[in-house]
Structure 1
C-alpha cells in the first residue's frame, strides 16, 4: 500500500471497528472494549475526529469500579465470539467488566490529546471531566497494589501486563497449580487465529485458574496480595504508570486541581522502584518475581520502557541503546517482544517474539526524548513498513514481516495514523 492509501485504510479500520462510542480491537477475536487499546485508539481518532476520540475514553470510564479500578475489558454489549466473557468473570455491575486492569496509558494520552487538540475548548472540558476519574484510578494502584510504598505495583495476572504469554512469566505461571475443579471451557481465540500464534493450552488453564482465585477472594485486592500464587512486578505496568503519573501531575497543574504533592510522592517511589530493576551486566531492566524476590532474567521489549518512563540515567539509556542494537543484528524488524538471542524467542507466538506497533511507539518516544532520534526513527520506519507490507495486523513476524494475529486491528491503525501524520519526533504524541 502507498502512504495515502494506507492512511485512508487506517481511518476505515477505526470506523469499521466503531461500535458507537467504543472501538473494538478487531471483529470476532476481540469484540469488546479493552483499556489500553482504547487509549491508543483515541490517539488515532484524534487525527481526524476529535469528539470521537474523547468519546472513546469517556465510554471506557463507564466501566470504572467504585474503588477506582479501571478494568481491562468493558463488556458493553453481549457477544458470543470471545471467551472468557462476563459470565465467567462473575462481576455483578453494569456494564459488566473483567476484574483486573491493564497498562494505565490514559493520563499520558489525555495530556497528549489536550496538547494537540484543534478544539482547545472541547479538549480542556473533556480533560477536566476525566481528571478526577484518572486520579481515582491511580490512587487505586497505590492503595491496593503498592500498599507498602515499594514503588513497584504487584501484578496478579499475566493478562494485566498486556503481554499475556511473555516468557518473562513462565516460571511464575508454572507455579500456579491448575485448579482440579476448573470449570470446563472452550477457547474462542484459536477459532480466529492459528494456534501457533496464540498462547498454549497449559497457559490458558493457568490464566483461568487465576480468574477463579480472584473470584474466591471476592476480588479483594489486599487479600490477593497475600494469597495469589502469581505475583510479579511488570515493567510494562510500572513504566507506563510512572509516565502516566508524570502526566497526571502536569494535568493537575494545568487544570488547577492541586494534587501535585501527592503525585510527586508516587513518582519518587516509582523512580526508585523501577531503577532497582536494572541489571548492569545485561544492560537491561528485568521484570521481578515478587514471590521469590528474584529478577526474571529474560529480555523483553518492556525492558526498554524506563526510557518511556524517563527514570533511566543517561548512562543506562546508552546501555539500553547498545543492547537494542545487538537485538537488531538478529532480526529484520524492531522491536521483537522477546530478546532474539534467548532460547525462549518464538518469532510468531503472540508476546514471545513478534513486533507490536504500540510497544514500538512507547520505546521510540523514549529514545527520542533521551536524544537518540536515529534509533527512534528506525523503529518508526520499521513499523510503517510492516503495515505497508502486511496490513493492519495485530502483531508482526520480526524476521519476515508477515502479519500475525488478528487483522484490521484498531491500535495498529491508530499508530499508523499518528506516525504517518507526524513529520518529526516532536509530533509523536
Structure 2
C-alpha cells in the first residue's frame, strides 16, 4: 500500500463498528444511508466481505414500505447526536425496521455500490448470494421512490433538506425563509462540539430542520401530509436514482432476472430530469413542487447528471464545470456552489466547500466519458487533500483548508478507491506504451 492507502485503511478500520462504519467517531456516531454506500465502495479494496456486510446492514434496516432510512441507531441511544433515536421513536411507527432509525431517507446510491462491491470478489459474492439478497431490497427501495415519493413529472421528491444530502444548499433558502413555523423546544447542537459554527448550518436553519422532521414524524412518516411545507425535486437525488436503475439492470442480468424494466426506468427518470434544466444557468436545478418554481442556483447537485450516459446536456455541464463558476482543476476538487454567486461561502457546509463524495461522482463521470486526463487530475487533487489534512469532511475550495470533522469515512473510502483507479490507469498506460514500442 502507498501512504494514502495505508492512512485511509486506518481510518476505515478505526470507524468500523462490527457490522457497519460510522461516518466519523465523534460528530456522526451512527450509520448513515448514503454514507454506507460510499464507504462500501472503498472498503471493497480492503475487504470485499466487510464491504458486503456494510451494505447488508443498511439494507436490512429497510422499512415495510421499502424506504431505506437516513440514519440507523444501532445502539438505540442518541450517543451525543441530535436528532437521535429518542427524537424519532421509530419503534412506535408501524412498518418501521426492527432497529431504531430515522424516518427520512437519503439519495439512492446503493445499487451502484452493490454492483461495485460484487465485482471486487464475484466468486465470494456469488457464494454468499450477496446480489440476490440485495436485489430484492433495492427493487423495493426504488419502488418506494416511484410510488410514495413520485410526483406528476415522474421524479422523486424530497421532504427535508437532509434528504438531499446537501443540507443547507441555497436551493432551500426561499422555502425555509417563507416558513413561519420553527421548532418550539430547545435546539440541541452537539455538532458544534466537533466543528466550528461558521462551518455548520445556523441555529435558525436548525430550527426549521427540526420542525420539518418533527412534523414528518408526527404524521407517522407516511408521506401523506399533502400540506407539508417542504417538497422538492432535486437533480442529484434523481440522477443517482436513474444511475442506480442502470446498476440494477446489470445486477438483474447477473442473477438471471429481466434487466429491461430497470433500463426503461432509467430512461424514464433521465427524460423526466429535463424538467429541471435551466437554459439560463446551463445546469440542472431543484424545483419546489408546491409552487412549481425552479430554484435558479448553480450548485454541484446540478452537475451530478453527468453520471447519466443519456444526458443531452453533457457538453453544457462540462463547460460549466470547467468555467468560472466551478473552475475544475484550478480550485480544490469541485465547489458545492457557484464561486461567483452572492450566496457563496467558502467555509459553510454546502454553500461553497468542496466535498469528497461529489468529487468522486464527478471523477467517475469524467472517466466514463473518456476525459481521462481531467479525471486523473481531479482524483490526484482529491487524494492529496485527503492525506494532507487527515481525511477531512470537506475543504475550502480556495485555500484547501480542511473544514468540518476529520477522519471522515467516505473521504477515506473514496480517496482509496480513486488511488486504486489511478494505479490501474497508470498500469494500463504503461502496458499500452509497451505494446506500441514492441
Q: Which bin holds the TM-score, normalised by the shorter protein?
A: over 0.9
- In structure 2, what is the Cα distance between the partners aligned to 1:263 and 1:251? 10
- In structure 2, what is the Cα distance between the partners aligned to 1:375 and 1:287? 27
- In structure 2, what is the Cα distance between the partners aligned to 1:61 and 1:177? 37
1:9 and 2:11 aligned: no
Summarize the Cα distance change of 1:67–1:233 in structure 2 as closer, same or farther, 3 Å threshold: same
TM-score for both structures, normalised by structure 2: 0.91
Once the two structures are superposed, the pairs formed by residues 106-121 of structure 1 within 5 Å of their partners are: 106-117=110-121, 119-121=123-125
- In structure 1, what is the Cα distance between the partners aligned to 2:59 and 2:42? 18
1:395 and 2:394 aligned: yes
Summarize the Cα distance change of 1:6–1:231 in structure 2 as closer, same or farther, 3 Å threshold: same
What is the CA distance between 1:250 and its match in structure 2?
1.6
Summarize the Cα distance change of 1:349–1:262 in structure 2 as closer, same or farther, 3 Å threshold: same
- In structure 2, what is the Cα distance between the partners aligned to 1:269 and 1:341? 34
Once the two structures are superposed, the pairs formed by residues 6-405 of structure 1 within 5 Å of their partners are: 6-77=4-75, 78-92=77-91, 93-117=97-121, 119-122=123-126, 125-146=129-150, 148=152, 150-179=153-182, 182-221=184-223, 223-224=224-225, 226-258=226-258, 260-313=259-312, 316-326=313-323, 327-329=325-327, 332-405=331-404
- In structure 1, what is the Cα distance between the partners aligned to 2:367 and 2:2? 25
The SS at the match of 1:305 is helix
- In structure 1, what is the Cα distance between the partners aligned to 2:65 and 2:98? 15
The SS at the match of 1:288 is strand
Alpha carbons 1:86, 1:98 under 8 Å: kept: yes
TM-score for both structures, normalised by structure 1: 0.93
What is the CA distance between 1:291 and its match in structure 2?
1.7
- In structure 2, what is the Cα distance between the partners aligned to 1:214 and 1:44? 33
- In structure 2, what is the Cα distance between the partners aligned to 1:237 and 1:39? 14
- In structure 2, what is the Cα distance between the partners aligned to 1:166 and 1:216? 25
- In structure 2, what is the Cα distance between the partners aligned to 1:96 and 1:425? 43
C-alpha RMSD of the superposition: 2.0
Alpha carbons 2:187, 2:207 under 8 Å: kept: no
What is the CA distance between 1:44 and its match in structure 2?
1.4
- In structure 1, what is the Cα distance between the partners aligned to 2:414 and 2:267? 31
The SS at the match of 1:421 is helix
- In structure 1, what is the Cα distance between the partners aligned to 2:230 and 2:318? 31
Summarize the Cα distance change of 1:426–1:103 in structure 2 as closer, same or farther, 3 Å threshold: farther
- In structure 2, what is the Cα distance between the partners aligned to 1:30 and 1:121? 29
- In structure 2, what is the Cα distance between the partners aligned to 1:350 and 1:377? 25
- In structure 2, what is the Cα distance between the partners aligned to 1:8 and 1:123? 29
- In structure 2, what is the Cα distance between the partners aligned to 1:388 and 1:426? 20
The SS at the match of 1:76 is coil
2:410 alignment counterpart: 411
Alpha carbons 1:25, 1:31 under 8 Å: kept: yes
What is the CA distance between 1:246 and its match in structure 2?
0.9
Q: Which moves more between the two structures, 262-271 or 167-176?
A: 262-271
